[in-house]
């Protein structure tokens, strides 16, 4: 076993009851990469003059605060990411709703992320013969931005940025248990041949779930990149905090933003260009439905819905002798009536709890 390599690294997380108060992680997802700066110590140097000192001396530098940033990338399956989806849109945590048999649905709407945070733990193996797997545990984590991307004939990928309060190494490394199984109980990888992109139709809400009736499949869609930004205050350092930031909240830093970049071949003027030119409001529904029957004709599903959206510049471009491009960006907007969310991120699977 390559004990001293990334093959043995791990990523775990759990919802915190009180923001910033660490808990023992018990959810695990298989990751592709872990990046970011990690622990960042904020230091100051006393540049006081005297004694003909040419370089500040080592005794004149101190730390005043710390924070942690990490970026995680993973391939998306049908199961195991409900808590991450909740954080991505700032949704309230509600128990999954039983659909039938052992199949559940969780629908997350964009909301206020106050009071919602994760404890995250990474296992980083040392590159030695024994390869000791060192635990790095971060409390008070929130997702500040994310991207869900689907390229043609590739796996569905998710990348997100975590902002945390502090990182410690004294917490024991949790034993990773992954969502596994075969056939109906598997965490099925979602990919391009599971993907559907629809535009238009009529959105409605029933039992706190948005659905769209009458949407039309977008012809010539080669992929999509869905992006979200939660403009949290991440510099909440105040007196009495002893160098630890206060909870990251929406504190006037801007609006939440959700958009989707569609990679399109130009097949029809009316399906994209005419909607943009008329500045028509349209619903966007992106969905990934697994191929493995989890029982009673139930298939794992992840979907993103913008109930009310506008298309941004949708020019038709010639890039060479091949078919033309008609790429566009779809931007989600809020409902003035307060009935529809700006975004719904939903999953249907065998996960009965978070």
pLDDT for 183:
74
Upper half-sphere CA count for residue 344 (Cβ side, 13 Å)? 26
pLDDT for 354:
76
Query: Stretch 91-105: mean pLDDT, rounded?
Result: 89
Predicted confidence (pLDDT) at residue 236 exceeds the cutoff of 80:
yes
pLDDT for 278:
97
pLDDT in tens, 284-296: 999 999 999 987 7
What gap in Å lies between CA 151 and CA 180, rounded to an integer?
25
List own/partner pairs for 235-244 with CB under 8 A and 24 or more apart.
237/65, 241/65, 243/42, 243/63, 243/64, 243/65, 243/66, 244/20, 244/65, 244/66, 244/165, 244/166
- pLDDT category at 282 given cuts 50, 70, 90 is very high
The proportion of the chain whose per-residue pLDDT surpasses 70, expressed as a percent, equals: 99
| Choice among 9-23, 59-73, 257-271, 285-299 with the minimum mean pLDDT | 285-299
Predicted confidence (pLDDT) at residue 251 exceeds the cutoff of 80:
yes
What gap in Å lies between CA 222 and CA 224, rounded to an integer?
7
pLDDT in tens, 200-228: 999 999 999 999 999 999 999 999 999 99
Q: Which of 270, 281, 266 is nearest to 336 (CA)?
A: 281
Query: Stretch 35-61: mean pLDDT, rounded?
Result: 94
Predicted confidence (pLDDT) at residue 328 exceeds the cutoff of 80:
yes
pLDDT for 2:
61
Predicted confidence (pLDDT) at residue 1 exceeds the cutoff of 70:
no
What gap in Å lies between CA 110 and CA 102, rounded to an integer?
27
Domain residue extents for the chain: 6-38+59-349
pLDDT in tens, 312-326: 989 999 999 999 999
Burial 289-309 (b: 16+ CB within 10 A, else e): bbeeebeeebbbbbbbbbbbb
Q: Please indicate whether residue 72 or residue 185 has the higher confidence score (pLDDT).
A: 72
Are residues 42 and 83 in contact, defined by beta-carbon separation less than 8 angstroms?
no
pLDDT for 93:
72
Backbone angles phi, psi at 274, to 5 degrees: -65, -35
Could you tell me where the DSSP H helices lie in the chain?
A: 82-89, 273-277
pLDDT in tens, 166-193: 999 999 999 999 987 777 788 999 999 9
Q: Please indicate whether residue 67 or residue 296 has the higher confidence score (pLDDT).
A: 67
DSSP characters over 212-232: EES-EEPTTEEEEEEEEE---
pLDDT for 84:
97
Torsion sign (Cα): 58, 59, 65, 66: positive
| Choice among 2-6, 121-125, 128-132, 285-289 with the minimum mean pLDDT | 2-6
Tokens of 185: 């109980």
Q: How far apart are the first and last CA of the chain?
A: 31
* Residue 317 DSSP label: B
Give pTM, 2 decimals: 0.95
pLDDT for 185:
82
Q: What is the dihedral of CA 69, 159, 22, 238, to 10 degrees?
A: 40
Backbone angles phi, psi at 106, to 5 degrees: -130, 125
Tokens of 336: 């003035």
Tokens of 149: 């991307």
Are residues 343 and 331 in contact, defined by beta-carbon separation less than 8 angstroms?
no
Are residues 346 and 86 in contact, defined by beta-carbon separation less than 8 angstroms?
no
Q: Look at the block and give the residue holding tokens 């929406």.
A: 250
Task: Provide the mean pLDDT of the chain.
Answer: 95
Burial 207-232 (b: 16+ CB within 10 A, else e): eeebbbeebeebebbbbbbbbbbbeb
pLDDT for 179:
81
What value, to the nearest 5°, has the Cα angle with vertex 288 and ends 308 and 302? 70
């Amino acid at each position: 076993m390559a004990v001293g390599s990334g093959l043995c690294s791990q990523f775990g997380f759990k919802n915190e009851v009180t923001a910033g108060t660490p808990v023992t992680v018990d959810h695990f997802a298989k990751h592709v990469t872990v990046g970011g700066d990690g622990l960042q110590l904020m230091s100051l140097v006393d540049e006081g003059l005297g004694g003909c000192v040419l370089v500040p001396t080592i005794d004149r530098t101190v730390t005043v605060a710390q924070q942690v940033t990490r970026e995680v990338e993973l391939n998306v399956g049908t199961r195991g990411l409900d808590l991450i989806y909740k954080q991505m849109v700032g949704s309230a945590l509600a128990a999954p709703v039983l659909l039938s048999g052992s199949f559940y649905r969780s629908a997350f709407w964009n909301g206020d992320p106050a009071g919602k945070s994760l404890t995250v733990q990474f296992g980083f193996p040392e590159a030695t013969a024994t390869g000791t797997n060192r635990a790095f545990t971060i409390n008070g984590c929130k997702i500040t931005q994310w991207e869900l991307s689907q390229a043609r004939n590739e796996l569905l990928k998710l990348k997100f940025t975590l902002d945390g309060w502090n990182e410690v190494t004294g917490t024991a490394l949790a034993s990773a248990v992954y969502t596994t199984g075969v056939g109906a109980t598997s965490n099925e990888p979602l990919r391009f041949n599971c993907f559907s992109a629809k535009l238009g139709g009529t959105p409605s809400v029933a039992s706190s779930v948005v659905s769209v009736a009458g949407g039309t499949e977008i012809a010539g869609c080669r992929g999509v990149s869905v992006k979200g930004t939660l403009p949290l205050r991440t510099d909440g350092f105040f007196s009495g905090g002893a160098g630890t930031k206060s909870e990251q909240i929406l504190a006037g830093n801007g609006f939440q933003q959700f958009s989707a970049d569609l990679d399109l071949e130009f097949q029809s003027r009316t399906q994209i260009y005419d909607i943009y030119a008329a500045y028509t409001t349209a619903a966007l529904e992106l969905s990934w439905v697994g191929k493995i029957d989890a029982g009673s004709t139930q298939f794992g599903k992840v979907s993103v819905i913008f109930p009310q959206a506008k298309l941004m510049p949708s020019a038709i471009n010639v890039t060479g002798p091949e078919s033309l491009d008609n790429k566009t960006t779809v931007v989600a907007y809020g409902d003035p009536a307060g009935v529809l969310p700006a975004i719904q991120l939903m999953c249907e699977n065998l996960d009965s709890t978070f």
